[in-house]
């Protein structure tokens, strides 16, 4: 990118009033923020430790910090705060423990911890001694968890909500659980993820002297991705800034795609009300995409209402037409997209890291993963549930980890009561205490005679039975083929029945069983390719792949990116495939029913503006839903694009000329890799 353009320079140098930088996709907003930090330090006399810049991801914060260090010497940036909202909130909490009723060393509950606590509270008997059954808990749990998170994001305490007169028993019950949940968090000296923003707002609101102290610490505040702020984050910003002019926020209402988790795009409009002297500077020159791609994005998003109008433009040339692949079903969609991608890769000698496959829902990734694996194409999953992240896959992999490594205590803890063996948390706690005293592993301790001083006979018997069973499988894995041991394991624990018992629907259980079957088939294929491999070798190979998929920095490697459109925000790729362009998928059925298609249109806009050089859509004539093949209808968003720039491809046609030839080369290369 060249030097700052005129509007970017204006945004950097404006300090006379609060500033909103309306930054379109690919318009260089990070450059503006980092250059403004340098300008504040070098030209305006601000000390680095009095400046704070907040964003939403650790990756974005790291990138911002690195870019600042490239502009000005590190000696001038000492003490500069560049972090996520939640990291800033955590630092505030750590400095105000006493006022918040917390002690040092407090825990931060993740989603799993929070959900476990909520479920335990829902199991508690009421004043009449009645308890909810597991079926009722399963039915209502998600709604309660989401409601409590929304209340925290709106900075509403249980005490405030309890004052509302509500005839709805469900509302009163939710408030009651919310109050008990917060009480237990404090008893455990813990906070949850939402508390990291809410508690600083509460301590600032209730203790003016604390707010004044932090206003003196942070004399200039910059906020990235402002359209993604929720109510509590906006209040935190307002409290820190007060009536000063020392605020720059960067945002784009067209890229607000997180309403479902509390983001309020209307916070952009509120700025004009809360900061009457607000200056607005628009960044509309795009440095990422071709004119055809930007024309499609502008035409699509023009169907949404806007507080601030803008139109992206580019000097990068017209570029290629936008391709639309129409195929018979989702299986053929995966084959067609991956075939096209591989052929393009070989024909034009591009890196696999130049390609991204974007989709609306995590469930769409599986078929593309399968095709990429079969074509020996390296890939990584971001922002969604990879194959290895499915609960059922993690369960079986944990059994296999423990089988090949009896010292793996984490694997032991995951599967000791999955499926249930009547080995409760009290038993595990005492077993863990014994292990700490005797310096042994959990699995080894299950058969120690000294356990009778810690546990009752029935608990010892169950632990011993588990240990002996695991030992038998370990011996079997040394003599039998690995696949036989894996199949025996699944039969022994009656895992199919467990999945039916713990799934919300029969269809979901069948899907989870299908995932397990695919894992078994994969292990079988790996062993057929490497007959001399032990079960330990195969497990190590799969765990390595799992770690690679979870590595945040894998996107920098030569791998195709698979991700939801939500996860793709802030990224860019030369060649982008947006799959599943169908009604009730994009836009999603829920958004249609709730009349919230505008956010889905913004999501599609985000997907389109990830593409730098070429963009391809795909859609199917039929798609399986709830076990049945149903007719699919093309997404309304395709109709809203400039039709003259679309090149429709019939899914029945063969790969053309050079593309077919290059795909043939790709397939042969894959075969050679397999054969060594």
- How many helices (H) and strands (E) are present in the chain, helices listed first? 30, 19
Burial class of 11 by CB neighbour count within 10 A (0 to 12, 13 to 18, 19+): buried
3-state secondary structure of 364: helix
User: Is the separation of the CB atoms in 283 and 28 below 8 Å?
Assistant: yes
Beta strands in 496-584 (DSSP E): 560-564, 573-578
- CA distances (Å), origin 33, targets 37, 224, 283, 312: 6, 8, 13, 19
Q: What is the pLDDT of residue 503?
A: 87
Q: Which helix (H) or strand (E) holds 499?
A: helix 495-502
Q: What is the pLDDT of residue 388?
A: 73
Q: What are the φ and ψ backbone dihedral angles of 136, each rounded to 5 degrees?
A: -65, -40
Question: 430 exposed, middle or buried (CB, 10 Å; 0-12, 13-18, 19+)?
Answer: middle
Low-confidence residues of the chain, pLDDT below 50?
A: 1, 384, 547-556, 651-660, 662-663, 666-676
Which residue numbers are catalytic? Answer: 29-30, 224-225, 255, 610
Residue 450, judged by CB atoms within 10 A of its CB (0-12, 13-18, 19+), counts as exposed
CB 555 within 8 A of CB 351: no
User: Is the preceding omega at residue 230 within 30 degrees of 0, hence cis?
Assistant: no
What is the pLDDT, as a whole number, of residue 166? 63
Q: In 10 A of CB 167, how many CB atoms?
A: 6
Contact present, 638 and 303 (Cβ < 8 Å):
no
- Cis omega (within 30 of 0) on the bond before 440? no
In whole angstroms, what is the distance from residue 211 CA to residue 157 CA?
A: 20
pLDDT at site 178: 92
293 in Cβ contact with 572 (< 8 Å): no
Predicted TM-score (pTM) of this structure: 0.67
Q: Are 601 and 637 in contact (CB under 8 A)?
A: yes
The number of beta carbons lying within 10 Å of the beta carbon of residue 143 is: 11
Can you read off the two tokens belonging to residue 364? 């769409």
| DSSP characters over 327-377 | ESSHHHHHHHHHHHHHHHHHHHT--GGGEEEEESSGGGHHHHHHHHHHTT-
- Residues 602-622 have pLDDT tens digits of 899 999 999 999 999 999 999
pLDDT of residue 329: 92
pLDDT score at 174: 87
Whose tokens are 């507080």? That residue is 307
pLDDT of residue 604: 94
């Amino acid at each position: 990118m060249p030097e700052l353009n005129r509007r970017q320079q204006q945004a950097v140098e404006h300090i006379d009033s609060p500033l909103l930088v309306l930054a379109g996709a690919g318009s260089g907003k990070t450059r503006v923020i980092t250059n403004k930090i340098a300008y504040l330090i070098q030209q305006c006399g601000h000390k680095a430790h009095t400046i704070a810049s907040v964003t939403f991801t650790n990756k974005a914060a790291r990138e911002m910090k690195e870019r600042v260090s490239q502009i000005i010497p590190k000696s001038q940036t000492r003490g500069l705060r560049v972090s996520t909202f939640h990291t800033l909130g955590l630092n505030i909490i750590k400095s105000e423990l006493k006022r918040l009723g917390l002690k040092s060393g407090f825990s931060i509950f993740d989603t799993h911890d929070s959900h476990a606590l909520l479920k335990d509270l829902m199991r508690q008997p009421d004043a009449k001694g009645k308890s909810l059954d597991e079926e009722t808990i399963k039915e209502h749990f998600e709604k309660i968890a989401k409601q409590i998170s929304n209340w925290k994001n709106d900075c509403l305490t249980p005490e405030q909500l309890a004052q509302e007169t509500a005839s709805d028993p469900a509302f009163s019950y939710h408030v009651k659980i919310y109050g008990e949940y917060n009480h237990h968090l404090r008893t455990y000296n813990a906070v949850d993820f939402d508390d990291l923003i809410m508690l600083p707002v509460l301590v600032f609101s209730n203790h003016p002297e604390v707010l004044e102290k932090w206003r003196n610490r942070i004399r200039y505040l910059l906020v990235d991705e402002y359209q993604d702020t929720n109510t509590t984050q906006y209040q935190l910003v307002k409290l820190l800034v007060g009536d000063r002019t020392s605020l720059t926020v960067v945002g784009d209402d067209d890229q607000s795609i997180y309403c479902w988790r509390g983001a309020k795009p209307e916070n952009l409009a509120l700025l004009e009300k809360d900061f009457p002297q607000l200056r607005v500077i628009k960044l509309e020159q795009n440095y990422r995409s071709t004119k055809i791609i930007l024309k499609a994005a502008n035409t699509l998003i023009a169907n949404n209402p806007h507080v601030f109008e803008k139109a992206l433009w580019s000097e990068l040339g017209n570029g290629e037409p936008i391709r639309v692949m129409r195929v018979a079903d989702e299986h053929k969609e995966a084959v067609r997209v991956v075939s096209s991608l591989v052929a393009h890769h070989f024909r034009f000698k591009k890196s696999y890291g130049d390609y991204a496959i974007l989709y609306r829902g995590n469930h769409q990734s599986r078929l593309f993963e399968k095709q990429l694996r079969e074509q020996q194409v390296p890939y990584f999953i971001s922002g969604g549930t990879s194959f290895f992240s499915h609960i059922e896959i993690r369960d079986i992999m944990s059994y296999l980890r423990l089988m090949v490594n009896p010292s793996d205590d984490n694997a032991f803890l995951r599967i000791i009561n999955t499926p249930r063996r009547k080995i409760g948390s009290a038993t595990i706690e005492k077993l863990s205490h014994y292990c700490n005293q005797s310096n042994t592993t959990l699995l080894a301790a299950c058969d120690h005679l000294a356990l009778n001083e810690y546990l009752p006979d029935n608990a010892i018997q169950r632990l011993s039975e588990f240990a002996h069973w695991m030992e038998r499988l370990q011996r079997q894995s040394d003599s039998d083929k690995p696949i036989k041991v894996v199949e025996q394991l699944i039969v022994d624990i009656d895992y199919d029945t467990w999945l039916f018992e713990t799934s919300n629907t029969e269809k979901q259980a069948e899907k989870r069983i299908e995932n397990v079957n695919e894992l078994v088939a994969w292990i079988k294929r790996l062993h057929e390719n490497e007959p001399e491999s032990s079960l330990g070798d195969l497990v190590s190979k799969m765990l390595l792949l799992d770690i690679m998929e979870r590595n945040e920095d894998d996107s920098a490697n030569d791998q195709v990116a698979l991700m939801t459109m939500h996860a793709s925000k802030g990224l860019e790729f030369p060649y982008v495939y947006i799959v599943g362009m169908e009604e009730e998928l994009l836009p999603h059925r829920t958004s249609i029913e709730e009349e919230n298609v505008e956010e889905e249109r913004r999501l599609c806009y985000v997907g389109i503006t990830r593409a730098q050089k070429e963009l391809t859509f795909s859609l199917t004539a039929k798609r399986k839903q709830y076990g049945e093949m149903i007719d699919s209808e093309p997404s309304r968003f395709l109709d809203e694009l400039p039709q003259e720039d679309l090149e429709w491809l019939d899914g029945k046609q063969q790969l053309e000329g050079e593309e077919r030839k290059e795909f043939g080369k790709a397939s042969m290369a894959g075969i050679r890799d397999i054969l060594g």
